[in-house]
Amino acid sequence: METDAVQQEVSAPCVELSASQTALACAAAALVPGLGHAVMKKWDRAVVFFVSIILMFFIGVGLQGRVFGPDFTDLFSSLKFIADAGAGLLYWMARLRGLGVGEPTAYTYDFGNVFIYVAGLLNMLVVVDAFDIARGRKS
């Protein structure tokens, strides 16, 4: 009985959405972690992505990590900005509210930065996942 339920869940049909619905899901996912999946009614994924990525971002800020601004003077600065900005509206809200100033002398500064980078990078993966689901490549 349990095996049947798991089998049904695993073999849920892949449904391809229209181009506009796909664009909407990807844009929503890029702006707010998990929102793209919520638009497609993938509630379990939406909740996990929303909670995990937001938690990760704010733990990073709490560990006195820095939210890097748009700085394209060298490769590493650009990559830091791109990784951080992957978090979408979270990133811009933090920037506008003056959060994530960062304290380089703090013991946890580097850990905080890594949490913030990875929150952004995970959200980029989540956008790709939303795209795959919307195009019917996975259920």
Partner 1 sequence: MTSHFTMMVVFSLLVSLVFTFIAKTGAKERARYFLYLFGSFILISIAVGWLMYPFPF
**Cβ atoms of residues 25 and 40 within 8 Å:** yes
**What is residue 100's three-state secondary structure?**
coil
Binding segment (CB under 8 A) for partner 1, from list 20-28, 75-83, 89-97, 111-119: 111-119
Q: Can you tell me which residue has the tokens 């939406």?
A: 46
CA distance 84 to 41: 27
| One of 1, 4, 9, 19 touching partner 1 (CB under 8 A) | 9
Closest CA to 88 of 35, 25, 33: 33
Binding mask 19-48 for partner 1 (x = CB under 8 A): -------------------------xx--x
| One of 29, 39, 40, 122 touching partner 1 (CB under 8 A) | 122
CA distance 44 to 14: 17
Binding site residues, partner 1, CB under 8 A: 6, 9-10, 12, 44-45, 48-49, 52-53, 55-56, 59, 62-63, 107-108, 111, 114-115, 118, 122, 125-126, 129, 138-139
